[in-house]
Amino acid sequence: MQTDTRLGTMDDVLAGVDETLRAVTLRLRALIIETDPETYETPRPGDRALSYGTGPKKMVDGYAYIMPQRGYVNLGFYQGALLPDPAGLLEGTGAKLRHVKVRSLEDAEQPALRALVAAAVAERRAG
């Protein structure tokens, strides 16, 4: 994994996030790294997000992002509209972006979530 800290750090993104959601965020981060050990992580404090992809450009290189909210953490996919989602986890109506609201560590362990991350990685690396 490579980390680009030109925009800020993970601690900047997690500033003010409660402990439960911080744990969910870190688990989702680990899930992405487990699925794609060569991922490129870009903390984006201005967006309050961590972005993952094949390089630092979120819409060109990115395949996923983690964005803590109040009460849940969004695991988002830049090309989510293209991903297979047999479990129906994805939300959103944009042309491309989709996300899953992850509320607990148990939610973060769903096999369907891991499958979405793997599909997003494959889609980005193929394209």
pLDDT at 56: 81
pLDDT at 31: 97
**Predicted confidence (pLDDT) per residue in 86-108, tens digit:** 999 999 998 999 999 999 999 99
- Which domain, by its residues, includes 43? 2-126
Going by the DSSP 8-state scheme, the letter that residue 68 receives in this structure is E
Q: Domain count for the chain, please give it.
A: 1
pLDDT at 95: 92
pLDDT at 91: 96
pLDDT at 36: 96
pLDDT at 117: 97
pLDDT at 118: 97
Residues of the chain with pLDDT under 50: none
> CB neighbours of 126 closer than 8 A, spacing ≥ 6?
none
How many residues does this entry show for the chain?
127
pLDDT at 57: 82
pLDDT at 3: 80
- The tokens for 34 are 């487990």
Count of other CB atoms within 10 angstroms of residue 108: 22
Cβ atoms of 3 and 43 closer than 8 Å: yes
- What's the pTM value of the predicted model, to 2 decimals? 0.94
Consecutive H or E run containing 15: none
pLDDT at 24: 97
Residue 1 CA: distances (Å) to CA of 75, 76, 107? 19, 19, 24
Nearest to 7 by CA among 40, 42, 59, 41: 42
